[in-house]
Each structure stands twice: as C-alpha cells, then as structure tokens.
A and B are shown apart, each in its own frame.
Chain A
Amino acid sequence: MLSAQGIFFSVHDKNILHDISLRFTPGKFHAIMGQNGSGKSTLLRILAGSEKASSGKVMFNDKLLHHYNERELARQRAVLSQHYHISFPISVHDVVMMGRYPFFKNAPSQKDKDICKQAMQLMQVLDFADRDYNTLSGGEAQKVMMSRVLSQVWECDESNACILFLDEPVSHLDIRFQHQLMQTAKAFCNKHLTVVAVLHDVNLALKYADELLFMKNGRLTYNILPHQLNETILEAVFDMRVKMKQVDETLVVYTP
C-alpha cells in the first residue's frame, strides 16, 4: 500500500513538515488530526502526489509515487480537496462523471454512467444531477465532490486496492450527513479501500477511524489506535484541557 519515509518539506526556508515516516494499513480508515497549520493538508498533498517532498520518499505498491504516470495513478487513487472553484457553468452530473475520466478515452461507457448514478444515489445528490454546480450550497457541493471521488474508486477490490484521500470532507455537512459520509467511507474500507482523512472532529474520528494520526508543528507526534487515545495525548496535541468520558457504548471527548 502507501508508505512514506523521512518526509521533509519546506517553503522559503520555512519547515512545514519534519521527518515524517508512516505506513497506511490496507483497507483501514485513517484519521489525521492536529491544530490549524500543523501541516496536515501539506502531508496529504505529498502523499497524494500533487506536491513533491523536499526530501524523503513516498512508495505506492512497491513503486515510487512520482514514477507513476497521472492516469495510472488516478485509477487507484482519488482525492477530495478542501476548496473547489469552478468559474464556468457545469452540471452536477458532469462533475461526478469526471471521477470516471481515468477509465474512458472519449465517451463514457454504460458502466461509467451506471457507476456515476450509483455514487450520486449513495450521496443523495441524484435529485439535482442536472443543476449547475455553481448554484449549490456548500454542503451540497461537498456531497457532489464526494460522489465524484467515490465513482473514481468504485471498482476497488482485493486485486485492485485503491486509496482515497479526504481533506476535511464533512466541513460543510449537517450532522446527519457527517455520519452518513463517514459510514459510506467505512463501508468502502470493507471493499479494500484505504481511507486517509483529515478531520477536526475528534468524536467523529473516534467513532469511525481504525487508526489515529496526530500532527503538531510539522511532526507526526502520535500514530495510535482509537482505544489508546487519552486526555494527556489530546492536551499535548491541541494545547487545551479536554476530558474523555464513557457515555453508553461510546467514548466521548468534551471540554469541561
């Protein structure tokens, strides 16, 4: 699967990432958390291949990430970014179909169309498939973009293991859809999809993630399993007092 060794990254002599090494477990949900500006998104961009590390290497299936050509990589790796700005009118359906671009040359096959439809159904955006993307609300747009990346990794299975990067995927979603999106991503993990998500909501991460990664000042400070999380770790990462408590079956993080 995907692993990184000794990643450093700096811009204008400012160190953004400092000696990061990690290995993602295939078919697991990984949550990356940390303060604003701790380097989460930069790390994600390097792991996804759009930014090159100043030093260190990223390996994907025993091959250096930057040795893949774009199309080859796009068939196994999808990325949901934080912001999208589209300056032209384009229908929701056409946006979702872009997830299938790595798989067809000129015109989409029936299979591509079916996959798009199912992905839109899953994220409940099929009702406004013909609307202009630019007229959508922030939450609707986020669901559409999620449908797009899902359609890209739709055919993930044992012989074709894919990885999905999500950068703050629930930032505009209401509470019901936050859980629905996480459940959907989790369901894809059972189809051998590896998920790497930058999240801010610790409770959401605790509930759905299989592994928790915490970053601080450009360093990977903790790489733990959910049951290993405690108040000391959270206070060290976020520089604030937090409490944890068992409520029914769920472990909850709250501020006293």
Chain B
Amino acid sequence: MSRFSFRYYYILLSVLLLLSLIISARVGAVNISYEKIFAFLGLNNASYSNIEEALFWKIRIPRVILCAFVGAALSVSGTLMQALFRNPIVEPGLVGTSSGAAFGAAFVFVMGSSINAAFANSVGPFLLPLFAFAGALIATLTVYKLSNVFGKTNVNTMLLAGIAVNALANGGTGFFSYVARDPQARSITFWNLGTLSGADWNAVYLVGISTIAGIVICLQYSKSLNALLLGEDEAKYIGINTERLKLKVILINTFIVAMATCIVGVIGFLGLIVPHVLRMIKSGDNRFLIIASALLGAIVLNLADMVSRIIVAPSEFPIGIITAFVGAPVFLFLLIRNSRKQHKGGFYA
C-alpha cells in the first residue's frame, strides 16, 4: 500500500483524463491539429474552416465526452458489483447486466415504432432507456438470486448463472436482429460489439446525468460497501442493513449500466480491469475505488476509442472488440490466480 494520499491519485488521474480527452479529440477520420482545438476553445486565433468547427463541436467533442462518461459508468459499476458479490472477478458483462440491457434495447430497435404507436407516442424518447433498464434489472437480479445460496455468494454458481442469462439475452437479441429489416439488423449487430459512433449531445446528457447521479449516490454507501467486505452477517453486526444496501446498490448500478449500454452497446471487461488495477496500486477502500475508477475508466475507454478510430480510419472498429481482446486475457489471469489461492495444495484440488 503506497504512501501517497488518495487526493494525490485523484489529481493525477484528473490530469491524465484531461490529456487523454484532448489527444482523443484530435484524431479520427479527420485529424484536427492542437492549434485548431485551442482556437475552437478560444485560447488562440489560428485560422480554421466552419466545417472543421462543426465537426469538432457536433461530432468529436460529444463523442469524447460520452466516451468518458461511459467508461466511468462501466468502471464504477464493476467496483460496485465486485463489492456486492465480494469477489474481484465480477463485472457488468459477466452478471448479465449489459446483455440484459442490450436485449431490452434490441427489442425497442425492432418493435419501437409499434410500441410507440400503441402508447400514442407518449413514451417517445424514454422508450429505449426504459426497456434497457428493465432488461438489465431482470438479468442482474436473476443472476444475483441464483448465486446467493443461504446468504453466501457462490462464485461458481454465479459464473454459470451469468453464462445462462447472457446466452438467453444474446439469443433474444439475435432473434430480434434476425426478424429485423436490414438497416435495423445491421445497427443491432454493430451495436452489440459496442460503438460510440452514435454520439450526440442528447446521448451525452442522458449518460452524463445518470452516471454522475449514480456515482454521487453510491459514494454515500462506500462505508457500508467496505463493511460488506467482512461478510453479510458481519456487516449486520457493525450496523449495516445489508438487505436494503444490496437492493439500492443493484438498482443504481443497473441504472447507470443500462443508460450507457442503450447508447453505446455492449462494452465488456472494462469494469473488471479498472477496479482491479486501482486495488493493486493503492487501496481496496470503496470510496477511493468509486472516485478513482470513474476517472481511470474514462481514461482507458477514451484511449480504446482512439485506437478504434485510428486503426481502420476513415472507417472505425467496434470498441467492444478492443476491450475484449485486452480484457479477456486479464480476466483469465485473475481467474487462475484466484482459484490457485483458494485451493492451495490438496491432493484432489
């Protein structure tokens, strides 16, 4: 455990986040020079065209900011789920939250116009977030209930239940892309691999507000989540109403993941790696983890998105593939190390 205070890390990560935002805003199908970026921000008076300015404010900046919020949402969600399941190998992709949200969103993609017609367009723009949240909540609660045997979380059952629920949700999403008309289907497929290409200011507001609200509320529970480290009975003994805590955290967590997922699709493994790295370099205190994983998650996803825009420019690569290529090996490494820790020696281990 290092000697630098939490504040030192917050400042360092904030500076890195700012840098990654600026670098990320520069690259893409059209590169914008730093001079021009500073000119757009009114910091110098380099010359630029109106098209470049529009591209910067209407496409690049919303995308970069959305990316930061999504990264924060998924990483904080990973932190919360790991605290709740009391296990370091949990993340929203594994316990069904993301695929549940994806299923709800795919449903709206294909059936949205019919549902809207039935409710005389009264639900309108809230339809997508609403169904994504419902799908995510059902999937998460199912896995959580199945993996909790006699008040203890059984990790094997959790992973298996996660596989089953993910398969079911993915099957449902597949069904919708099969029955969908062509453009809808393509958007579902691309979106199932994660993409930030749909970024606009409305998306930024939706994900930004839900993420920040979720983080601020969860910070109040960081002490209770720390208490949960000892186990559920023990947390009760030191004054925590564990049932209420679990319900609240699952609800908030599902909400922020669903809002992010319904805009950008399924992006896996970020929520697994970011809290783990922070725990290794500094502390397992959930207060620190929530704040720092929001910052680090925003940085990491911004870098991943930058890569996705560079490697096949002027086209772009699904970001979910990048996070999976990096994240899955890390997950396997953690899984192996974890099981070794649990079965030290033993003839039949």
Q: Are B279 and A84 in contact (CB under 8 A)?
A: no
- Interface residue? A175 (CB, 8 A): no
Q: Are A90 and B229 in contact (CB under 8 A)?
A: yes
Q: Are B284 and A88 in contact (CB under 8 A)?
A: yes
Q: Are B88 and A50 in contact (CB under 8 A)?
A: no
Query: With A87-B87, A89-B284 in contact, is A102–B231 under 8 Å at CB?
Result: no
Residue with the greatest number of chain B CB neighbours at <10 A, chosen from A70, A84, A95:
A70
**Complex alpha-carbon distance, A102 and B227, angstroms:** 10
Contact of A102 among B88, B238, B284 (CB under 8 A): B238
Q: Which residues of B contact A84 (CB under 8 A)?
A: 230-231, 234
Q: Mark A83-107, 1 if CB is under 8 A from B, else 0.
A: 0111111110011001101100110
- Interface residue? A49 (CB, 8 A): yes
Query: With A81-B234, A84-B234, A89-B279 in contact, is A70–B239 under 8 Å at CB?
Result: yes
Residue with the greatest number of chain B CB neighbours at <10 A, chosen from A45, A50, A79, A88:
A88
Q: Which residues of A contact B285 (CB under 8 A)?
A: 90, 94
Q: Which residues of B contact A71 (CB under 8 A)?
A: 239-241
Q: Are B223 and A87 in contact (CB under 8 A)?
A: no
Q: Are B237 and A78 in contact (CB under 8 A)?
A: yes
Q: Which residues of A contact B88 (CB under 8 A)?
A: 87-88
- Interface residue? B246 (CB, 8 A): no
A:192-214 near B, CB below 8 Å? none
Report which A residues bind B (CB closer than 8 A).
45, 48-50, 69-75, 77-79, 81, 84-91, 94-95, 98-99, 101-102, 105-106, 130, 132, 152
- Shortest CB-to-CB span from A65 to chain B, Å, is 12
Q: Mark B75-109, 1 if CB is under 8 A from A, else 0.
A: 00000001000111000000000000000000000
Total number of B residues with any Cβ neighbor in A under 8 Å? 23
- Shortest CB-to-CB span from B320 to chain A, Å, is 27
- Interface residue? B226 (CB, 8 A): yes
**Complex alpha-carbon distance, A167 and B142, angstroms:** 34
Query: With A49-B236, A87-B86, A88-B88 in contact, is A101–B229 under 8 Å at CB?
Result: no
- Interface residue? B349 (CB, 8 A): no
**Pairs across A and B, CB under 8 Å, 6 listed:** A45-B233, A70-B240, A74-B238, A81-B231, A81-B233, A87-B88
Q: Mark B206-245, 1 if CB is under 8 A from A, else 0.
A: 0000000000000000010011011101101111110000
Query: With A84-B231, A85-B231, A87-B88 in contact, is A70–B236 under 8 Å at CB?
Result: yes
**Complex alpha-carbon distance, A70 and B238, angstroms:** 8
Closest B residue by C-beta to A81:
B234
- Shortest CB-to-CB span from A9 to chain B, Å, is 15
* Majority SS at the chain A contact face: mixed
Closest B residue by C-beta to A131:
B1
Q: Are A79 and B230 in contact (CB under 8 A)?
A: no
Q: Are B226 and A98 in contact (CB under 8 A)?
A: yes
Query: With A98-B227, A130-B1 in contact, is A75–B86 under 8 Å at CB?
Result: no
Closest B residue by C-beta to A105:
B223
Closest B residue by C-beta to A72:
B239
Q: Are A74 and B284 in contact (CB under 8 A)?
A: no
Residue with the greatest number of chain B CB neighbours at <10 A, chosen from A73, A81, A98, A132:
A98
Q: Are A101 and B223 in contact (CB under 8 A)?
A: yes
Q: Mark B277-300, 1 if CB is under 8 A from A, else 0.
A: 001000111000000000000000
- Shortest CB-to-CB span from B206 to chain A, Å, is 30
**Complex alpha-carbon distance, A91 and B82, angstroms:** 18
**Complex alpha-carbon distance, A110 and B208, angstroms:** 37
- Shortest CB-to-CB span from B280 to chain A, Å, is 8
**Further pairs besides A71-B240, A71-B241: 14, Cβ < 8 Å:** A49-B236, A77-B237, A86-B230, A89-B284, A90-B229, A91-B1, A95-B230, A98-B226, A98-B227, A98-B230, A101-B238, A102-B238, A132-B1, A152-B238
Q: Which residues of B contact A90 (CB under 8 A)?
A: 229, 284-285
Closest A residue by C-beta to B220:
A106
Q: Which residues of B contact A101 (CB under 8 A)?
A: 223, 227, 238-240
Q: Mark B238-258, 1 if CB is under 8 A from A, else 0.
A: 111100000000000000000
Q: Which residues of B contact A94 (CB under 8 A)?
A: 226, 285
Q: Are A50 and B237 in contact (CB under 8 A)?
A: yes
Q: Are B238 and A50 in contact (CB under 8 A)?
A: no
Contact of A50 among B236, B239, B279, B284 (CB under 8 A): B236
Q: Are A88 and B279 in contact (CB under 8 A)?
A: yes
Closest A residue by C-beta to B284:
A88
Query: With A87-B86, A87-B88, A94-B226 in contact, is A74–B237 under 8 Å at CB?
Result: yes
- Shortest CB-to-CB span from B13 to chain A, Å, is 20
Residue with the greatest number of chain B CB neighbours at <10 A, chosen from A77, A87, A94, A95:
A87
- Shortest CB-to-CB span from B183 to chain A, Å, is 46
**Complex alpha-carbon distance, A129 and B326, angstroms:** 36
**Complex alpha-carbon distance, A98 and B238, angstroms:** 7
- Shortest CB-to-CB span from A142 to chain B, Å, is 14
